Amino acid sequence: MKPITIITIALATTLGVEAKTWRNVEGKSIEGEYVSRTDKDVTIRLATKKTTTIALDKLHEDDRFWLDNNHPPNAKPSQNPAAVFDQLTFGDNHKQVEEKLKASKFAKLTVAETFIGRSGLNGVFRTTEKIGGLDASLYFEWKNEDSLEEVNLHTDPLPITQAKQTLVPCWKEFAKLLSNLYGKPVISSPELNTSSIPDGAYQPTHLWNLSPKGSVTLGASREGDKLLIVCRFSEKKTNPVALPE
> Is residue 78, in this structure, part of any structural domain at all?
no
In the predicted model, what is the mean pLDDT of residues 89-117?
88
209, 110: one domain: yes
Q: Are residues 59 and 164 in the same domain?
A: no
Strand partners of residue 136: 155
Specify whether 54 is located in the same domain as 117: no
Would you say how long the chain is, in residues?
A: 245
DSSP state letter for 24: B
63 and 139 housed in the same domain: no
In terms of domains, do 114 and 211 share one? yes
Residues 66 and 134 in one domain: no
> Is there a domain that residue 10 lies in?
no
Say if CB 174 and CB 218 are below 8 A apart.
yes
How many of the other CB atoms lie within 10 Å of CB of 53? Answer: 18
- Do 92 and 180 lie in one domain? The reply is yes
Within this chain, do residues 202 and 108 fall inside the same structural domain, yes or no? Answer: yes
Q: What is the pLDDT of residues 66-97, one digit of tens each?
A: 888 788 877 655 566 677 788 889 999 999 99
CATH of the domain at 41: 2.30.30.700
Q: Do 112 and 192 share a structural domain?
A: yes
Query: Is a pLDDT exceeding 80 seen at residue 4?
Result: no
Residue 243 domain flag: no
What is the total count of domains within the chain?
2
Q: Are residues 42 and 162 in the same domain?
A: no
pLDDT at 8 over 60: no
Domain annotation covers residue 208: yes
Q: DSSP states of 122-156 as a string? A: TTTEEESS-BTTB-EEEEEEEETTTEEEEEEEEEP
Q: Which of 219, 217, 229, 218 is nearest to 162 (CA)?
A: 229
In this predicted model, what pLDDT tens digit does every residue of 28-65 receive, in sequence order? 899 998 888 888 899 998 888 888 999 999 999 888 87
Structural domain containing residue 41: 17-70
Residues 6+ apart with CB under 8 A from 50: 91, 92, 147
The pTM score is 0.65
Asked if 101 and 215 sit in the same domain, the reply is yes
**How far are the Cα atoms of 3, 71, 87 from residue 33, in angstroms, in the given order?**
30, 13, 14
Question: For residues 56 and 204, what is the distance between their CA atoms, to the nearest angstrom?
Answer: 44
H or E, element range at 70? helix 61-70
